[in-house]
Amino acid sequence: MKIGIDLDNTIISYDKVFKIAAKSFDLISDDWSGNKEKLKSCIRQLPDGEKRWQKLQGYVYSEAIENADAFPGVIRFLWRAKNKGHHVFIISHKTEVAHHDSKINLRNPALRWLKEQQLLPESNLGLIKEILFLSTQKEKIKKINELNLDVMIDDLIEIVEHPLLDNNIDTIHFGESVYSTWPSIENYLLKNIDVEDCYALIRQSSLGNPVSCQTCNEGGNSSVWKIELENSSPVTVKYYINDLSHADRRVTEMHANQIMRKYGIENIPNVLHSNKYLEISVFEHINASTVQCMNESKVDFVSNFIEKLKDVGGEYEVDFPLASAACLCGDDIVKQINSRLSNLQQACENNAELSKFINNALLPTADKIIEWSKLNWPSKQHFNLPIEKTYQILTPSDIGAHNMMEDSDGSIFFIDFEYFGFDDPVKTASDFLLHPKNKIDTKLGKIWVGRMKDLFSDTDADFMQRLAVSWPLYGVCWCLIMLNEFRNTDWQRRKLSKELSEEEHSKVKSEQLNKSAVLLQFIECNYKQFPYL
Ligand SMILES: [Mg+2]
């Protein structure tokens, strides 16, 4: 296959750089948020706006380009495409110099960026066949036709829908809903990660000679493989599926593993190798299987693990960012509910059943619970103010049976630290009770809450009350998480990691809607009287 890819805003992501530059030019306030399109319209509305926007663009595409990132997943796409024998051309409509200032060269900085990412044809990786700069859109279309491409990927609708583009060239509008991320394009053009990809990866690394490999995938956020090596212990390879909202699950997980190991936590996988460009990590393989059900002894393993993490974060004063989706006060949980609701808005427009459930059942219940929770929040703490750092713990965030493994001796290992960071232990305690895979009944829930009380109540006097009034709010969050299957972006991600037909997907959606309704009813019946005391 011959694949053409645009450069600016298709391979190179400028959102972050544009924002930093606009702030330094005093064009927006420090707390401004939004994407490049929003920024463009904001600046154009200022006096002399068009000129200021062009000046900013000139700066970003020249000097500031060195701080720009590749879109998550694009380098791995290029690497896999090359290994599968496809030829990739970068075809960019980029003038030699900036429109507003002929002293600013635009192509040389772009070439330097490509060199830095090892993407030039002559670099070690050599992932790109040729890089072509054209001065006008018309010249770009002519080049795409001349190259007789199979597919052209571009963020500009004017290119993918250009009337002069040959009809036999497939086009992908990058950024458009179905192809909003590189993993979704990877899935469409190259299909799921396969045995050949794993062999190519191991051969290029210095880990050994691969003799067999098999998928051991269970999670939706990654593709996981076990690889047997000649004369060496087997390894686990994890391919992360990053997007702009979780831009680097790999780095978080790698640092989390390093810190835990440093402070003596050993029942976690050891990272052997990690690659930024391919968004993969290689772990020592743990010969164990996923825990299927929770019981009292498993609850003890989890609470012992939390106790150790409490020490790592507290006593050793480890520096680490907040956990992904951390909630340090009641208001943070409400914000998450609202953000999850807005992520489902589009799905609601396309699905009457979902819309009916959200509008007639979930929203009225959520409003009642939020009001009640505010009234009953511990008086010494504030619903809108974060709890003190001394009360926060390091937590994997996503803890439960699905992220625990048990070997033949009954030893338990914890895996998956992509969301790791500081958070309120109340969130960890609530999520453990609510995670559908944990299937916690009232009896086990009481044991778990007892353990958490023993761990935290001495130093955090309001822990139990905060837990009782936060738990139903997290319950509403979980009702919404269960509906993620309705979101198109999540569906693309899941399709990539699992292989699910459209028909199976409809079935899954209907099951999830039922599960969400059951949980909502349980929360509604129990929110005033915490059921795990
Ligand atoms: Mg572009």
DSSP per-residue string spanning 136-199: SHHHHHHHHHHHT-SEEEES-HHHHT-TTS-TTSEEEETTSGGGSSHHHHHHHHH-S--HHHHH
In the chain, % of residues over pLDDT 70: 96
CA of 147 to the centre of ligand 1 (A): 19
- Residue 164 sits in the same domain as residue 199: no
Residue 464 maps to which CATH number?
Answer: 3.90.1200.10
Within-domain flag for 532: no
- Which of the listed residues 160, 190, 220 is the one where a domain comes to its end? 190
Within-domain flag for 76: yes
Mean predicted confidence (pLDDT) in 447-468: 97
Within-domain flag for 533: no
CA of 59 to the centre of ligand 1 (A): 16
- Residue 25 sits in the same domain as residue 50: yes
CA of 132 to the centre of ligand 1 (A): 13
Residue 240 maps to which CATH number?
Answer: 3.30.200.20
Within-domain flag for 300: yes
- Residue 147 sits in the same domain as residue 257: no
- Residue 122 sits in the same domain as residue 222: no
Within-domain flag for 111: yes
- Residue 184 sits in the same domain as residue 201: no
Stronger pLDDT, 455 or 279, i.e. the higher one: 455
- Which of the listed residues 284, 316, 348 is the one where a domain comes to its end? 284
CA of 138 to the centre of ligand 1 (A): 14
- Residue 444 sits in the same domain as residue 311: yes
pLDDT one-digit tens code per residue, 385-440: 999 999 999 999 888 999 999 999 999 999 999 999 999 999 999 999 999 999 99
The closest alpha carbon to 398, from 386, 387, 410, 414, belongs to 414
Specify the pTM. 0.84
CA of 131 to the centre of ligand 1 (A): 14
Instruction: Give residue 220's identity as a one-letter amino acid code.
Output: G
CA of 92 to the centre of ligand 1 (A): 7
Cα distances (angstroms) measured from residue 307 to each of 253, 315, 465: 19, 12, 20
CA of 334 to the centre of ligand 1 (A): 37
For 472, the domain range is 291-526
- Which of the listed residues 284, 318, 351 is the one where a domain comes to its end? 284
Q: Give me the chain's average pLDDT, please.
A: 92
pLDDT one-digit tens code per residue, 361-389: 999 999 999 999 999 999 988 999 999 99
The answer to whether residue 158 scores a pLDDT higher than 80 is yes
Mark the residues whose beta carbon lies below 5 A from ion ligand 1.
6, 8-9, 155
The answer to whether residue 499 scores a pLDDT higher than 70 is no
CA of 174 to the centre of ligand 1 (A): 9
CA of 10 to the centre of ligand 1 (A): 6
CA of 252 to the centre of ligand 1 (A): 30
CA of 128 to the centre of ligand 1 (A): 17
Within-domain flag for 531: no
Alpha-carbon gap, residue 330 to 56, rounded angstroms: 39
Within-domain flag for 264: yes
CA of 276 to the centre of ligand 1 (A): 24
The structural domain count of the chain equals 3
